[in-house]
Amino acid sequence: MAVARGTAVDPFVEGLVRICSPDRVVTHPHALRAYESDGLLQYRVVPRVVVLPDTAEEVRAVVRACHDAGVPWVARGSGTGLSGGALPVQDGVLIALTRLRRVLEVDLPNQRVTVEPGVTNRGVSAAVAPTHFFPPDPSSEIVCSVGGNVAENSGGAHCFKYGFTTNYVTGLEVVLPDGEVVTLGGPELDRPGYDLVGAFVGSEGTLGVATRITLRVVPVPETHRTLAAYFDHMAQAGEAVSGIVASGLVPGAIEMMDRITIRACEEATGAGFPLDVGAALIVELDGPAAECDAGFDRVVEICRAAGALGIRVARDEAERELIWKARKAAFAAMGRISRGYYVQDGVIPRTRLHEVLRRIDELAGEFGLTVANVFHAGDGNLHPLVCYDPSKPGDPERAEELARLILRVCVDTGGSITGEHGVGLDKKRSMPLMFGDADLDAFHRLRCAFDPAGLANPGKVMPTPRLCGEVPGPYRQHPLERAGVAERF
Ligand SMILES: Cc1cc2nc3c(=O)[nH]c(=O)nc-3n(C[C@H](O)[C@H](O)[C@H](O)COP(=O)(O)OP(=O)(O)OC[C@H]3O[C@@H](n4cnc5c(N)ncnc54)[C@H](O)[C@@H]3O)c2cc1C
């Protein structure tokens, strides 16, 4: 749908219509609302226009048009991001990449696949099946795009063993914010020179648009052995995780859910999880059958020693899928428990799990809010789900504040403000918890090298947006510092 009937003609939008054709330029106010937020529903901005390019060349032409007109833009994959990364900018263009979903080249002898950015994770694995697969597996893998994975450096349940998106991207074709097309990296695992692929992965759409992505894929393991162990307390499940890791086993996945999450997932999927337990641990071993069998017995022993009340072993692929269906439904299922919830994403040293959970419980009590917990336990990647009532005045703000304090707890224990969901809009205020002025300045310079005009996804990631070339002002003491209430470190 092109320019809405009855509205004034916008020459800039007319230019976009010439690039993408009228049916792929959205301007009608109702249709624009479909793009007003990503998975972080607490923030909404209606963009000036949405374009749906069909080819990399159309993406380039749109970005060039924005550059020439000084119009900001935001790239969007499937819009499942949970940190507001794909939140549009008002008066800006939203470049939706869902139509770029071609698999361009499958090279199994060299374990490579090249795809357009709109292909989903499942789509990549399907393209190289049945012999190979693409390991990063966000729980949104059915719909989320590889372009979004690259921009967020996404992870998932199997990243404990297999690593994150950054471990699989070898080459990128990128449209830079001035419309120039460059190739970063290539099909090889490691190219000489600066690691610009590494810089781009995780840059959250602030350095350009990835239009062609070359990925490493790996052979499908001979077998999987999966179990769910149930415990009275999260601390016991945490002890089992530490025991498994200390034993030298490297499971494909170790996931943990608390009582509230188990209930929500069970209601949503009917997977057969007991409702009277305090914690569930899902452990999956993969690899050669003999190795998995031996390791599996050891995992069972460790879970029993940690006090497991019961252990359910997946007897076949259907049961394995059911167990994963329940775990992967965790975020969506929370809607059964609470009308509103805020998905937090932080990292802690695995060994501090018990202490961090206790602190989260205390904070939840102080705020009078419920917090459910689900983790990629092997990586120490927590996803506290802060529940609130959207219709209760002040509740959403309190939930956001509680979620922010949880991040502070993560950083205080030696962890991080994000494990896999990115900084986006949501966590940019928390960046100073981890990075000093000099670090943030270095990030800013990198960004300016790619995007001197600051048009690519402005207002995201960096806590205090600055213009390229702008020098931070001289340090002035904050009144609280003068009063001795706060200090600079
Ligand atoms: C139910 C649920 C479960 C989830 N589970 C996980 C999980 O287990 N692990 C995990 O890591 N994440 C998870 N996520 C978060 C999300 O799915 C991932 O971050 C995913 O990679 C985002 O992909 P997307 O296509 O939806 O990207 P979007 O949300 O559309 O965009 C995300 C960011 O990428 C940028 N971007 C998108 N495409 C491009 C491109 N081609 N070039 C440059 N920048 C681009 C956008 O500007 C934005 O900053 C989950 C989300 C949901 C809703």
> Is residue 166 in contact with ligand 1, taking CB distance under 6 Å?
no
- State which of 35, 63, 76, 158 you would mutate to test the pocket of ligand 1, scoring each by most atoms of that ligand within 8 A of its C-beta: 76
How far away, in angstroms, is 85 Cα from ligand 1 center?
8
Task: Report residue 75: phi and psi, to 5°.
Answer: -80, 145
Q: Does 457 sit in the ligand 1 pocket, CB within 6 Å?
A: yes
Give me the pLDDT at residue 351, please: 86
Provide, rounded to the nearest whole percent, the portion of the chain with pLDDT above 90: 89
Any atom of ligand 1 within 6 Å of the Cβ of 140: yes
Cβ atoms within 10 Å, residue 177: 25
List own/partner pairs for 444-448 with CB under 8 A and 24 or more apart: 444/468, 446/199, 446/207, 447/203, 447/206, 447/207
Ligand 1 probe mutation, 154, 196, 457, most atoms within 8 A of CB: 154
Structure confidence at residue 462 (pLDDT): 93
Mean pLDDT confidence for 51-74: 98
145 CB under 6 A from ligand 1? yes
Confidence of residue 72 (pLDDT cuts 50, 70, 90): very high
SS3 annotation, 424-462: CCCCHHHHHHHCCHHHHHHHHHHHHHHCCCCCECCCCCC
Q: How large is the average pLDDT for residues 112-141?
A: 97
DSSP assignment letter at 123 = H
Residue 8: band (very low, low, confident or very high) from pLDDT cuts 50, 70, 90: low
The reported pTM is: 0.93
Pairing of strands 93-96, 73-76: parallel
132 near 215, Cβ under 8 Å? no
Q: Whose CA is nearest to atom 21 of ligand 1?
A: 149
Q: What is the pLDDT of residue 467?
A: 79
**Does the Cβ of 329 fall within 6 Å of ligand 1?**
no
Q: What is the pLDDT of residues 455-482, one digit of tens each?
A: 999 999 999 877 787 765 555 565 566 6
Q: Is the CB of 78 under 6 A from ligand 1?
A: yes
What is the tens place of the pLDDT at every residue in 285-298? 999 999 999 999 99
* pLDDT confidence of residue 417: 94
Q: Does residue 138 line the site of ligand 1, with CB under 6 A?
A: yes
Computed over every residue of the chain, the mean pLDDT equals 93
- The rounded Cα 425 to chain-centroid distance in angstroms is 13
- Does residue 451 have its Cβ closer than 6 Å to ligand 1? no
pLDDT for 486: 59
Which among 99, 140, 385 is the best mutation to test ligand 1's pocket, defined by most ligand atoms within 8 Å of the CB?
140
Which stretches does DSSP call E strand in 295-430? Answer: 310-313, 340-343, 346-347, 371-376, 381-388
**Residue 144 beta carbon below 6 angstroms from any ligand 1 atom:** yes
**Other C-beta atoms lying within 10 Å of the C-beta of residue 304:** 13
pLDDT tens digits along 15-59:
999 999 999 999 999 999 999 999 999 999 999 999 999 999 999
